[in-house]
Amino acid sequence: MTPQHNITPENVTPATDWWRDAVIYQVYPRSFADADGDGMGDLAGIRSRLPYLRDLGVDAVWLSPFYASPQADAGYDVADYRAIDPMFGTLPDAEAVIRDAHALDLRIIVDLVPNHCSDQHAWFRRGLAEGPGSVLRERFHFRKGRGQNGEEPPNDWESLFGGPAWTRVPDGEWYLHLFAPEQPDFNWDHPAVQDEFRSVLRFWLDLGVDGFRVDVAHGLVKAPGLPDMGHGEQLKLLGNQVLPFFDQDGVHDIYRSWRTVLDEYPGERIAVAEAWAPTAERTSLYVRPDELHQAFNFHYLNTGWDAVALREAIDASLDAMRPVAAPTTWVLSNHDVVRHRTRLGGGLDRARAATLLMLALPGSAYLYQGEELGLPEVTDLPDEVRQDPSFFRDSGQEGLRDGCRVPLPWSGDAAPYGFGAGGSWLPQPDDWAGLTVEAQTGDPDSTLELYRTALALRRRLPGLGAGDAVEWLDAPDGVLAFRRPGGLICTVNTTKTPAPLPAPGRILLASRQLDAAAGDFTLPADTAVWWEE
């Protein structure tokens, strides 16, 4: 039977191979804009700010989860993959966001959470109610415990949020959750799970979304028999070890089946893997021509502000993706890590330089909401306002993700800075008045105008973002210098001292205000410059 899709010309963007050099902006819905005044961002708020994103110059918008959820992990515990949580709005609100974005030549990518769901998901609730032997329990990882009376977990796996990765239910069986107990892992060996997610893909593709960001893309398949780890290293996810619950080869059959679904639809719909693989070469397997389109480059995100380390990370990333003909992605911040203005050290100057370096590299770049405003990590949130679930556990992740999720400042001199009429779900700092969109708009020295100018140049100059390589040039120690197609050169000083070097051309854009260069030139510390030869 030929698939029937709700596709009309006005809700589909044309095929342009757009994703190979796209700039994609991540919206964390609860912290972006609040339209109904309840202190929580929502879809109507996102819709009202889409012109801002168009004017910023991005190509696509990635929306973190807005599905029906008890919010045990900020929406990454999904109870219904086809419904909108009331705190964010309704399904017609989501359709309106997609429709308005397309009218503004913006594409929409939505989060998909296939590794686990909420413990309030209909399948899980029914499986619990029916007890041992329920066919619904086969869609998860239910096991009998070890020990004389089954009182010990089935294996030694630990949750990434701390504590055992198993929870015992009243009838004595245990279920697996690599994250919070409220997030039971699906059993992807079960055909019903695979069928359900292909159906979910089609549901959102029929509504016109342009793609999916796949949460925990490396975690769907577990090693047969769920063997013990045998040691206490399982939170060191980026080592060279093969973990029995991550990066198993079986995930690739799943993504090949998804690619056939995506390819049924017009407009180049894509999928982006959040895949924490041990090497760049392992990450590249997720983006072979018959699998997903992009994978997040965590190797680059985790690289410090050091010229040698950055060059090695850039080369390794490009080298890994070239054999599979996939674009490399670049990212500095997201909703799970400390904002790069704070994480890299060196303050705003270093953050701005890092941005121009990233935007000069070949491939696709991801921006996290608020980085274009130069927002720092909020490090002094009182314990009583924190909401990150891992903060309340004894071990596991640091539990400090709230600091990058503080709502955006749009306008005004005091909180909530135009975020909404009813305050904000996390408190905003008292000194953010100078960081609002309103305060920075039109100021040529502001971080917002730097981003707007950089993105406009990236669209105007074909060499930026194109290709799969950089041409490294001679430069002083601590300085990166490389040429991009079309006669563009990028120089970046990662040191704490000025670096003299010949001016390679006319300055197009600098991460800080500089005098026009001619002949010999001194590149200040923590500064990046784009030159036209």
> Can 215 be counted among the known catalytic residues?
yes
Q: What tokens were used for 117?
A: 């769901």
SS (H, E, C) 128-172: HHHCCCCHHHHHECEECCECCCCCECCCCCECCCCCECEEECCCC
SS (H, E, C) 376-391: CCCCCCCHHHCCCHHH
C-alpha span between 314 and 299 (Å, rounded): 9
C-alpha span between 26 and 232 (Å, rounded): 34
Greatest C-alpha distance within the chain: 80
C-alpha span between 480 and 482 (Å, rounded): 7
Reference 479, options 467, 491, 471; nearest CA is 491
59, 215, 274, 372: the catalytic one is: 215
Tokens 């205000």 — which residue?
A: 513
Name the phi and psi angles at 529, rounded to 5: -135, 135
For residue 527, count CB atoms less than 10 angstroms from its CB and return exposed for 0-12, middle for 13-18, buried for 19 or more: buried
Q: Which residues on adjacent β-strands are paired with residue 271?
A: 212
Q: What tokens were used for 347?
A: 């303050």
- State in Å, rounded, how far the first CA of the chain is from the last one: 57
> Can 264 be counted among the known catalytic residues?
yes
Contacts of 263 (CB under 8 A, 6+ apart): none
Which runs of E-coded beta strand occur in 369-505?
Answer: 471-472, 479-484, 488-493, 499-502
38, 264, 438, 532: the catalytic one is: 264
- Is-contact 404 333, C-beta < 8 A? yes
Name the phi and psi angles at 142, rounded to 5: -95, 135
Reference 508, options 443, 447, 446, 453; nearest CA is 453
Tokens 């996810």 — which residue?
A: 237
Give the distance from CA 185 to its chain's centroid.
21
C-alpha span between 508 and 143 (Å, rounded): 61
- Is-contact 95 111, C-beta < 8 A? no
Q: What share of the chain is helix, strand, coil (3-state, %, to 5)?
A: 30, 15, 55
Q: What tokens were used for 54?
A: 């168009």
Active site residues: 215, 264
